[in-house]
Structure 1
Amino acid sequence: MCEIFCFNSDKPKQINQCLECFYNHSEDHPHGWGLANMQSDEFVIDKEPVKASCSEHLKDILSNPVVGKNVFAHIRLATMGEIISPNCHPFIEADDNNRSWMLIHNGTIFDYPKLNKYVDKESGDTDSERILLYIIDEVNKFEKTKGGLSTIRERFNLLNELIADLSKDNKLNLMIYDGDLTYIHSNMRETLYYLNNEDGFMIASTPLTDDENWMEVEMNKLFALVDGQIVFESEPHENEFVFTEKHLKIMEDHIKSLHGD
């Protein structure tokens, strides 16, 4: 599986130390890396289909201060899709009202037929990119029916419904950014943690510091963050994901195919 990271705060902070710790996990997640620094007027994104520890480009980035208030990172262990740049996270797409969306995913979609139609529309061949295309389609439908832009509450409610349904028999640890809200979701035990202090929220697949205040993200809920604060929190759904032998075999067969085994 992949690992994911998010920093959300009310003011820009330098986070090189945490990013370096995060990318040090790339020995076990060697199929690509990504970094997204969401500025007020643009998304600054870098990604490569190489192991993070081997990337000269990433070393150059981390040799300078990485400062931001909405920062996302990803290291990939491919369970679906080839090891190519279009399959590296984060994924970016705009909706019909020119709102840019970003998504990073730790998990696998084993069964969700509504995503099948995006196979021919996506740039790569990952289930993760299809999730983003599906969400944007649903947002477009909602705003077309409404006849105007959605509010942040309406978007949260819509994503809550979509993600709860997507999580049935699928591992769905997600971080999504829509320019206003940062959405966080996990539906598997001990796979996503957060630290909340005076600097803001830091969320990662594994704790990145020795601080004893890291806590597990509450499962089966959707959270929305703005400026280091939780502004919306859903009721829990019932779709906890638990690996079975069937899931493991699907993933193992795909990883073997990437290595030509």
Structure 2
Amino acid sequence: MCEIFCFNSDKPKQINECLECFYNHSENHPHGWGLANMQSDEFVITKEPIKAACSQHLKEILSNPLVSKNVFAHIRLATIGEIISPNCHPFTELDDNNRSWMLIHNGTIFDYPPLDKYRELETGDTDSERILLYIIDNVNRFEKAKGAPSTIRERFDLLAELIEGLSKGNKVNLMLYDGDLTYIHSNMRDSLYYLKNDDGFLVASTPISDDDGWKPAELNKLFGIIDGNIIFESEEHDNEFVLTKEHDEFIQNSLDSMNLGD
């Protein structure tokens, strides 16, 4: 599968060291990398369908101070979708109120029919991109029915409901950003960790520093973060994902079909 990372703070911080540690894991996740630096209302996104450790472009980015309040990063181990740039995370899309959304995902959707119709609409061919299109479609529907833009709280409650449905039988570790709120969700044990310190809020698939404060993310809940603090927390659902032999076989077959098994 993949690894995901985000940094969220109330003040811009330099996070090169964290990113370098994160991208060092690319030997085991060699099928692409992505970086999203959120600057005011603009998403500065860079991604390539190559191993992060082999990317000269990424080396150039990290050779200069990267200072920001909101940063997301992804390294890909492909399970669904070819190794091409459109399949690299992050994915971005506008909703009908011209709000920009960004998503990175670590997991696999094994079965969720409501996503199927987005196969014809997505740029690439990943289940992750379909998740983003599905979420935006539902946000648009909600706001059309309301006749006005949603509030931050309304969007959070809507996403909590959608992600609970998505997570039944599927691994849904994801991070979303809507320009206001960072959303974090995990439903697989020991697959997402967080560190809260004076610099801000760090979340990653595995701890990326020697700090003693890293803790497992609480399972089966959606969290909403602004300025390094959790401001919303959903009710806990029952859809913990447990990897089975059948899941392993599905993933291996996907890798083999793309000649990625080595």
TM bucket by the smaller chain?
A: over 0.9
Distance 1:260 1:206 in 2: 23
Matched, 1:16 2:30: no
Distance 1:206 1:171 in 2: 16
Aligned-residue offset at 1:259: 1.5
Output the amino acid matched with 2:75. Answer: I
Percent of residue pairs bearing the same amino acid type:
74
Q: SS where residue 70 of structure 2 aligns?
A: strand
Distance 2:110 2:24 in 1: 28
- The one-character-per-residue Cα deviations of 1:141-191 (angstroms, maximum 9, x if unpaired) are 000000000000000000000000000000000100000000000000000
Matched, 1:126 2:126: yes
Name stretches of at least 5 consecutive residues in structure 1 with no aligned partner.
none
Matched, 1:50 2:60: no
Aligned-residue offset at 1:260: 6.7
TM-score when scaled to structure 1? 0.99
**Structure 2 counterpart of 1:164:** 164
Aligned-residue offset at 1:41: 2.4
Output the amino acid matched with 1:238. Answer: D
TM-score when scaled to structure 2? 0.99
Distance 1:148 1:55, change over 3 A: same
Q: SS where residue 250 of structure 1 aligns?
A: helix
- Counterparts of 1:25-174 in structure 2, within 5 Å, are 25-174=25-174
Q: SS where residue 102 of structure 1 aligns?
A: strand
Output the amino acid matched with 2:241. Answer: F
Distance 1:253 1:45 in 2: 31
**Structure 2 counterpart of 1:228:** 228
Q: SS where residue 173 of structure 2 aligns?
A: strand
- The one-character-per-residue Cα deviations of 1:97-125 (angstroms, maximum 9, x if unpaired) are 00000000000000000000000100000
Output the amino acid matched with 2:117. Answer: K
Distance 2:164 2:67 in 1: 33
Q: SS where residue 171 of structure 1 aligns?
A: coil
Distance 2:17 2:198 in 1: 17
Distance 1:229 1:243 in 2: 31
Give every structure 1 segment of 4 or more consecutive aligned residues whose post-TM-superposition deviation is greater than 2 Å: none
Q: SS where residue 108 of structure 1 aligns?
A: coil
Q: How many residues align?
A: 261
**Structure 1 counterpart of 2:206:** 206
Is the 8 Å Cα contact of residues 33 and 48 (structure 2) preserved in structure 1? Answer: yes
- What's the RMSD between the two structures over aligned residues? 0.7
Distance 1:130 1:47, change over 3 A: same
**Structure 1 counterpart of 2:244:** 244
